[in-house]
Chain A
Amino acid sequence: MRPTRKIRVLMGKPGLCGHDRGIVLVVMALRDAGMEVIYSGRHKSPETLVNIAIQEDVDVFGVSILSGGHMPLCRRIVELLKAKGAQDIAFLVGGFIPPEDIPELKAIGVREVFREGSTLEDIAECVEQIAKERVTA
């Protein structure tokens, strides 16, 4: 049996959008919930983020996008995760996401979408749930 370890999470800011109040709150809340959280800092390319996710062996990889560029960025990240055989890392997105984009995001392989009204408790609970499923899978 795999020894129990802390849930490992990468939180990333892909693209050029600099707004990070939301992602910083999520980082702090996940840490308060006892998880190991890596924050990438801003202006990271999808390639850089996917490489960090793999090197750091994370269970969950979340990104925050408020610029409106979430569709192409998420598509690229999912492609890269697949190309590198890391599709088992659960990929989540949060930010300024219009509700009508959610079905398409889920269809391409985004595990969960968090919009502006999501609470930190909801996010932490969801990340924990997903990580547990991954360990038992």
Chain B
Amino acid sequence: MDLSRITDFAPLDELESAETHWRQQYRDDIVAAEAENAACEDGIPLKILYGPSDNRSEFLTDIGFPGEFPFTRGLDPTGYRKKLWTISHYAGFGSPRETNALFRRMIEHGGVPPYMALDLPTQLGYDPDHPMAQNEVGLTGTAVASLRDWEIIFDGIDIEKTFVGTVINAPAAVFLAMHVVLAEKQGADLRKIRGNLQNDILKEFTARGNFIFPVEPSLRLVTDTLEYCAEHLPSYWPISVCGGHFPEAGANRVHEVAFAFADAFTYIEHAIARGVDIDAFASNMFFLMKTNHTDFLEEVAKFRVMRKIWAEHLREKYGAKKLETMKCKVLGHSGGSLLTRERPELNIARTTLACLAGVFGGIQLIGLRTMDELFGIPTEKAELIAIGTQHVVAYETALPQVVDPLGGSYCIEALTAEFEAKVLEELDHIARIGGMVKAIESGYVRKAIAADAYETHQAWQTGKKIKVGVNKFHIDEDEPPRRPYEFTPEAQQLQIEAVQQLRRERDNIRVECALDRLRDTAQRPACSDTNLMPPIIEAVRAYATIGEICGVLRSVFGEYAEPTNL
């Protein structure tokens, strides 16, 4: 690498001989310090000092400039000066009616509704009166059983003007269908509808756990939504690929990124095989990752690596033509699994550092967990601290004024190159064992995550890894009160009665016909002509319930049996 071409620094050989001289001079100290190996959790070593000889990257082609391929230094030439990262937060709520009141309040105050959390029966395709739904209705989010609930949630809200984010995966196609039918009823222009489905089913099999159907039919449903949105809803984001669930389940950072990319590339390959143009959908994909304070420097490098790998794969492997398609958009949330119940105020320090890692990494959205999350539903005060922490970073540090401020650092560039190599190596390994679907079905991904989690847990228990307040610097304190989700039998009963009333009132012959058509289509091989979106939309329009629609698909596709060979 010819550094003199782009900098005024001394030539490389001069710097290298100076470094050698420095190492000679402090030899004994350095040898003593190196006696204990320092490494990131995933094994990438941390050296005492990085110098020019550590940088194997070609500055112009590998790192380059922000806003230019491969976007290592950032997606936009002027970074956060043009647009600050989005400061995100979480909110929870109960029935469709209460959700509607909350959404209206937020819109009146000039805000946008938060991502909608749904209860577990909804996420697993069960109606509130199904035996498996017992005691779970409305517990972790809103219960949505049919289009009628969707209509209640958006009563008086113009969905052409409102971004609607929904944390839904296995039955995501049904939610897309509900939104399409609601848009039609409101007379909205489908091409302008904005919103997002999580729709990342592959990480449900390996980390989050809310799966219904086996892998291949699940991928068919994802492909159907991607194809449908590419044609009818160009402003809608049909999928967010989640890497962040892997570290929450215990995975190390290389696995977080490699598994997220392996999932994303699987979706892309299915959509391309279906005949969908890469530039018609991939720019509407984005990544939901963790931004964590541990192995801080590697976390910064991670986000730079993600942009580079994504841009190169999209252009070289998948034939993207538009620059927008090659831009890796990353939403980062700090991880709850790194917070502690002991000395919980220190969680503010942890999330502040997590926020900094995201800012140095140049990502598009940051959300911080509250200091009291481990005790249940956050208090309002803790929510305001989490948002205020981001305001301090954004408005008091001047960090947003400089794009990629750590770029060019010997250490960051060396870690960027090493992290990239590790991720590519893992992606190669997955390809060699037959691709991500095989890696999931064989239990490979689950085993890898479990092994990482076990290793980390042992390191915490032996004190090899330090958790302040837990295995070091512990202080005896009383725990703050807990605020668990409260299950209310009355609220569950109301949802059960509502869905039973719906089944009495609707045109049941129309529902049966729509479900028959859905069954027929699902039984035929997957292709554009058997895209399941049109029959699902017809069933939703007839007020078939989520349990009925998923029930038909369960009867055709079966259910996923997860590998338990850990």
A interface residue numbers (CB < 8 A to B): 15-21, 24-25, 27-29, 38-43, 45, 67-69, 72-73, 96, 98-99, 116-117, 119-121
Given contacts A16-B121, A41-B561, contact A25 B453 (CB under 8 A): yes
Size class of the B contact interface (CB-based, 8 Å): 35 or more
Interfacial chain B residues near A67, Cβ < 8 Å: 120, 136, 139-140, 485
Assess the A21–B120 pair: CB atoms within 8 A. no
**Can you report 5 A-B residue pairs in the complex whose CB atoms are below 8 A from each other?**
A27-B566, A39-B564, A39-B566, A40-B564, A98-B484
B566 in contact with A24 (CB, 8 Å): yes
Q: Does B156 contact A (CB under 8 A)?
A: no
A41 touches B457 (CB 8 A): no
State A19–B209 Cα separation when bound (angstroms): 7
Which residues of B are found within 8 Å of A69, using beta-carbon distances? Answer: 135-136, 139, 487
State the CA gap A21–B319 with chains docked (Å): 38
Nearest residue (CB) in B for A15 is: B136
Besides A29-B454, A42-B209, A98-B484, 15 more A-B contacts (Cβ < 8 Å) are A16-B123, A16-B126, A21-B453, A24-B250, A25-B250, A25-B457, A28-B454, A40-B564, A41-B561, A45-B131, A67-B120, A69-B139, A72-B487, A117-B341, A119-B461
| B501 interfacial by beta-carbon distance below 8 Å | no
Partner of A121, one of B250, B374, B461: B461
Residue of B nearest to A27 (CB): B566
Residue of A nearest to B451 (CB): A28
- Closest chain-A Cβ to B341's Cβ sits at a distance in Å of 7
Does B124 lie at the interface of the complex (its beta carbon under 8 Å from any beta carbon of A)? yes
| Chain A residue contacts of B266, Cβ below 8 A | none
Contact between chains at A43 and B124 (CB < 8 Å):
yes
Smallest CB separation, B345 vs chain A (Å) = 18
Does A116 lie within 8 Å of B248, measured CB to CB? no
Q: How many A-B residue pairs have CB under 8 A?
A: 85
A43–B559 Cα distance when bound, in Å, is 11
Closest to A40 in B: B564
Smallest CB-CB separation from B120: which chain A residue?
A16
Complex: A38 Cα to B564 Cα, angstroms: 8
> CB-CB < 8 A to A29: which residues of B?
454
The one of B208, B453, B461 in contact with A18, judged by C-beta atoms closer than 8 angstroms, is B208
- Scan B530-566; emit 1 where CB is below 8 A from any A CB, else 0: 0000000000000000000000000000000110101
A16 proximity list for chain B (CB < 8 A): 120-121, 123-124, 126, 132-133, 136, 210
The CA-CA distance from A99 to B376 in the complex, in Å, is 13
Contacts of B341 in A (CB 8 A): 116-117
Q: Which residue of A lies closest to B563 (CB)?
A: A41
Return the contact of B487 from the options A24, A42, A68 (Cβ within 8 A). Answer: A68
Chain B residues lying within 8 Å of A98, measured Cβ to Cβ, are: 482, 484
B249 interface contact, C-beta 8 A:
yes
Measured CA separation A40–B565 after assembly (Å): 10
Complex Cα spacing A15 to B208, Å: 14
Cβ distance B252 to chain A, nearest Cβ, rounded Å:
14
Chain B contacts of A116 at CB under 8 A?
Answer: 341, 374
Known pairs A16-B120, A16-B121; A68 contacts B139 (CB<8 A): yes
* With contact pairs A39-B566, A41-B562, A68-B487 given, residues A120 and B461 touching in the complex (Cβ less than 8 Å): yes
> Does the CB pair A42–B374 fall under 8 Å?
no
Q: Which 4 A-B pairs have the closest CB atoms?
A: A18-B209, A16-B120, A68-B485, A72-B135
Given contacts A19-B209, A98-B482, contact A28 B135 (CB under 8 A): no
B566 with A28: CB separation less than 8 A: yes
Residues from chain A with a CB closer than 8 A to the CB of B374 are 116
B7 within 8 A of A: no
What is the chain B residue whose CB lies nearest that of A31? B566
Distance from B348 Cβ to chain A, minimum over Cβ atoms (Å)? 20
Residues of B within 8 A of A73 (CB): 135
Q: 0/1 per residue, B216-249, Cβ < 8 Å to A?
A: 0000000000000000000000000000000011
Distance in angstroms from A108 CB to nearest chain B CB is 15
Out of A21, A38, A43, which one reaches B249, CB within 8 Å?
A: A21
Q: Which of A17, A38, A39, A72 sits near B120, CB closer than 8 Å? A: A17
Q: Would you call B167 an interface residue if the criterion is a C-beta within 8 Å of the partner chain's C-beta atoms?
A: no
Chain B residues within an 8 Å CB radius of A20: 209, 249
CB of B134 closer than 8 Å to a CB of A? yes
- Say if the beta carbon of B204 comes within 8 Å of chain A: yes
Pick the contact of B453: A24, A39, A72, A99 (CB < 8 A).
A24
Closest residue to A28 on the B side, CB-wise?
B454
Q: How far, in Å, is A93 (CB) from chain B's closest CB?
A: 15
Contact with A96, one of B450, B484, B486 (Cβ below 8 angstroms): B484
**Smallest CB–CB gap between A53 and chain B, Å?**
15
Q: Given the interface contacts A17-B120, A120-B457, does A68 sit within 8 Å of B484 by beta carbon? A: yes
User: How long is the Cα–Cα vector from A121 to B485 in the complex, in angstroms?
Assistant: 30
Q: Would you list which residues of chain B between 149 and 198 have a CB under 8 Å from chain A?
A: none
B132 touches A45 (CB 8 A): yes
Contacts of B450 in A (CB 8 A): 24-25, 28
Instruction: Tell me, rounded to whole Å, the shortest Cβ–Cβ distance linking A73 to chain B.
Output: 7
A120 to B250, CA, bound (A): 15
